[in-house]
């Protein structure tokens, strides 16, 4: 059986946690930050867990993560 190619753009954006969950960065922290409250920008620094329903789709993109 041949190896599956990893989608490199997805691999750069995702990590596995110690418990095996997929971790991603939150969106909305690239530009136009002056219009966003300090609290919101601070909360966007945190990581987010990928939804359970998205995991099968992501596992096809990044099979060896």
21-55 pLDDT, tens digit each = 999 999 999 999 999 999 999 999 999 999 999 99
Tell me the domain boundaries of the chain.
8-61
Q: Give the mean model confidence (pLDDT) for residues 5-24.
A: 97
Please give the pLDDT value at position 17: 96
Q: Give the mean model confidence (pLDDT) for residues 61-65.
A: 94
The C-alpha atoms of residue 25 and residue 13 are separated, in whole angstroms, by: 7
The C-alpha atoms of residue 8 and residue 62 are separated, in whole angstroms, by: 8
Q: What is the largest CA-CA distance in the chain?
A: 52
| φ, ψ of residue 53 in degrees (nearest 5) | -70, -20
Detail the DSSP E strand segments found in the chain. Answer: 15-16, 22-25, 47-49
Fold of 8-61: Factor Xa Inhibitor (4.10.410)
Please give the pLDDT value at position 1: 86
């Amino acid at each position: 059986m041949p190896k599956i190619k990893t989608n490199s753009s997805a691999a750069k954006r995702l990590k596995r946690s110690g418990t095996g969950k997929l971790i991603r960065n939150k969106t909305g922290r690239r530009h136009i930050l002056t219009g966003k409250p300090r609290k919101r920008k601070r909360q966007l620094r945190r990581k987010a867990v990928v939804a359970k329903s998205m995991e099968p789709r992501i596992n096809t993109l990044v099979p060896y993560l």
